[in-house]
Amino acid sequence: MMIYLWLILLALVVYAVFKRFYTPKYLTTLTQEDFIKGYRKAQLIDVREPREYEGGHILGSRNIPMSQLRQRANEVRTDQPVYLYCQSGARSRQAAQFLKKKRGVEDIYHLQGGFKKWTGKIKKK
């Protein structure tokens, strides 16, 4: 009986790790260089919480925190590319999944490594 519990626990851990690092086909992960090339012609959205955003964010980004995305999804246009970023990449993946599923957004990109790897210009509030 105990072995089954361990197998279930192991399966859940493997699934959680897979889910965190798997990038779906509709989401394109971009290096900072490629991200910079395209984000000025797109909707640049920071999905971190307001206190993180105020501590420093990519110039020109809008803050729509992951915790508010459900209520504010209509602020994201479906006819323009969407460039997402968060601190490390996990929340931007979640945001991409939500925007694809609920808003039908097709053109979605996110920053490899997230804001913590960003070396470009930033703005602080």
d(CA 78, CA 121): 27
Q: Which residue is catalytic, options 64, 69, 86, 95?
A: 86
86 annotated active-site: yes
Per-residue DSSP letter, 89: S
Per-residue DSSP letter, 77: -
Joined tokens for residue 91 = 């929340």
Cα of 42 vs its chain's centroid, Å:
15
State phi, psi for 20 to the nearest 5 degrees: -70, -35
- Provide the CB-side half-sphere exposure for 32 (13 A, CA): 11
Which residues are tagged catalytic? Answer: 86
